[in-house]
Amino acid sequence: MRLPLALSEAPDEAGVVRDADGREVFTVNTEGTWPDPTAHAVAALLLGRANVAAPRAPAEATEFLASALDGVRTLLAPIAEECDAALAALQIADDALADLRDRAGAVP
């Protein structure tokens, strides 16, 4: 994975984040249950944090993205039982984290 990360520009890839070489890094909203603007917003938040931090090694970038997703999950978990939108967003974060871990070989 090479920085900077960017949102995919393909119209059928809402929430897909690619690295500087165009390789898919992770996908937010893998089930397609959120509107495209929401998936783009969550993906932009995550890739923005990674790009600003500019880790020096791919493992650091992966760890940073996992940390960002965990932060999103921490914010949403307390309200997810009472709010369908928060529950959906929490599931998206869980899916993106699982996808990132699969691609990185089980990030802690």
Amino acid at 58: P
Confidence at residue 107, expressed as pLDDT on a 0 to 100 scale = 47
Task: Answer yes or no: is pLDDT of 45 > 50.
Answer: yes
Segment 46-70 mean pLDDT: 77
Phi, psi of 26 (to 5 degrees): -160, 165
Cα separation values, 108 from 39, 60, 63, 67, 88, Å = 24, 12, 8, 10, 23
Of the pLDDT bands very low, low, confident and very high (cuts 50, 70, 90), residue 56 is: low
Query: Is-above-0.85 flag for pTM?
Result: no
5 and 47 Cβ atoms separated by less than 8 Å: yes
62 in Cβ contact with 34 (< 8 Å): no
pLDDT for 7: 93
